[in-house]
Amino acid sequence: MQSSTDRILTTHTGSLPRPVDLIPLLFQPPTEQFYARVRDAVASVVRLQVDAGIDVISDGEQGRQGFHLYALRRLTGFVIHPETSKWMPQDVADHPVLQQKLFGSGGAQDVPLVACEGPIAMADPDAIGRDITTFRQALQGQPYVEAFMTAASPGVIASTFPDRYYGDREAYVLALAQALAADYRAIVEAGFVLQLDCPDLAMDRQIHFAGAPLTAFREHVEQNIRALNAALEGIPPERVRVHTCHGNYPGGHDRDVVLADILDLLLTVHAHGLSIVAANSQHRTTTYQAIQHLVATQGWPQDKILIPGAIDTLSPVEEHAETVAELLERYAALIGPEHLIAGTDCGFGTMVGVFETIVPSAAWDRLRVLAAGARLASQRAWAQQAGAR
C-alpha cells in the first residue's frame, strides 16, 4: 500500500453507483452485452474518481449486484430456495415501524434464501481475470496513485448464507477461505491492492450475537480471522487492506459493537491497511477514543495504515470540507499523517437497489468533499510536523 508522504491520500471502500441501464443486466445471466456494458461503466467510474480527486481508486464494483453476492456465481455448493432469508439487524427489529418501512410485512429482507448444500470450490476461475483485464484497461492513461480491487471475506459469506453441508462452521468458513484464496492471489499478482470486505467482523454483533455476551462474539470474530489469514497465506500484508463496518443500512446502529471491543482482533489480520467507520454520529467519537487508547497504551503499529471514514455513507447530509479536515487532523495528530489515508465509512453502491440513502450524483459530491477536506488537513498536518521539528 502507498503511504501518505507529503499529503493525506484519499480513497473509498470500493462500491460506487452503477449506470441505470447496467442495473437490469446485473440480475440476469451474463452475456457479451453485459461484459461490454461493464467495461464502459468501469472506464467511466475510473475517470469520475480521478476527476473527484481520489488517489487510490477501484473499479467501483460495476459488474456486481452486491459486494458479496458476486461470489455465489463463482463458487460451487450453493443452492437458491424459494423461501426468503431472515437477515434482520436487531437495531431495526427494536422498532417495528422502522422494520416495516425497511423490510415490509414479512419482517425480513425479501430475497431468496441461499444455502451451502455441497462442497465449495471455484466454479469460474476465469471470472477474476475478466475483472482484472477490464480494470487494467480502464486505468490506462489515467493519473492515480494506486488501484485496489475488493473481494468478499470467507466470514461474510459464511455469516450470510447458512451451511447445510459441512455441519461445522469452522470447516465451512475454512472451505470458503480455500476457494476464495485464488481470487485474492490473482488480484495481488496483477499489481493491485487487495481489499477484503469483512463486515462480519463488526456487523455480526447485531445480526447474530445481539443477545450474546461479548466473549461469544469475539470468539466468532477470531474464527473468521483465522479463516481470513489462511486465505491470505503467501500474500504480502503490505498489498492488503481490510474493511469492516456495521452494515450500510439506515437503522439506529445503537446495537453496534464499538471499535474498542474488537480493535485488538482486527489488528491481527495479515493486512497493512485498516478501513473503519469513523464519520457517522454513532461511531465518530468511540472510534477515535479506541485509536487514542491504543496509541496511549501501545503506540500505533508502524506496519499499519489507518483508513478512517471521513464521509458518512448512511446520511444524505453532506459534510463540509472543514468537517472532513477536522476529523483527519485529529487522527494525524494521533498516529502521524504518514499512517493515514482518508476514506469513507462504507460504499455508495453496496447492494444495488437496497438502502440507497445517497443518490448517485450526491455520491460524487461527497467524494469531492473528501478530497477537499484532505487537502486542507494535509496543509495543516505537514505544517504542524515541520513546526515541531
305-329 pLDDT, tens digit per residue, is 999 999 999 888 999 999 999 999 9
CA dihedral of 90, 203, 159, 211, whole degrees rounded to 10 = -40
Residue 1 lies in a domain: no
Scanning the structure block, which residue is given the C-alpha cell 505537514?
Answer: 382
Decide if 320 contacts 281 (C-beta within 8 A).
no
Grid coordinates representing 339 are 499512517
Burial of 303 (0-12, 13-18, 19+ CB in 10 A): exposed
What pTM does this model have? Answer: 0.93
Domain harbouring 117, CATH code: 3.20.20.210
Least confident of 108-117, 137-146, 191-200: 108-117
Compute the chain's Rg from CA coordinates. Answer: 20
The count of other CB atoms within 10 Å of the CB of residue 376 is 17
Per residue in 15-60, pLDDT tens? 999 999 998 998 888 899 999 999 999 999 999 999 999 999 999 9
**Owning domain of residue 280:** 9-388
Residue type, 277: V
pLDDT tier for residue 111 given thresholds of 50, 70 and 90: low
Residue 4 lies in a domain: no
Residue 110 lies in a domain: yes
Number of domains, the chain? 1
Per residue in 178-193, pLDDT tens? 999 999 999 999 999 9
Residue 2 lies in a domain: no
Grid coordinates representing 166 are 459441512
What is the distance between the alpha carbons of residues 373 and 367, in angstroms, rounded to a whole number?
A: 10
- The strand pairing partners of 149, in sequence order, are 194
Count helices and strands (H / E) in the chain: 14, 10
pLDDT tier for residue 104 given thresholds of 50, 70 and 90: low
Coil vs helix vs strand at 63: coil
Provide the terminal-to-terminal Cα distance of the chain, rounded to the nearest Å. Answer: 27
Residue 210 lies in a domain: yes
Higher local confidence (pLDDT), 113 or 45: 45
Grid coordinates representing 121 are 470450490
Residue 97 lies in a domain: yes
Per residue in 330-377, pLDDT tens? 999 999 999 999 999 999 977 776 777 788 889 999 999 999 999 999
For the stretch 294-302, contacts whose Cβ atoms lie closer than 8 Å and that sit 24 or more positions apart, written own/partner, are: 294/263, 295/334, 295/335, 300/334, 300/335, 300/336, 300/339, 301/267, 302/339
Residue 290 lies in a domain: yes
What is the distance between the alpha carbons of residues 243 and 196, in angstroms, rounded to a whole number?
A: 6
317, 314, 313, 341: which is closest to 327 by C-alpha?
341
Residue 163 lies in a domain: yes
Least confident of 4-8, 54-58, 136-140, 280-284: 4-8
Decide if 283 contacts 206 (C-beta within 8 A).
no
What is the distance between the alpha carbons of residues 292 and 319, in angstroms, rounded to a whole number?
A: 23
Q: What percent of the chain has pLDDT over 70?
A: 93
- The strand pairing partners of 306, in sequence order, are 274, 340
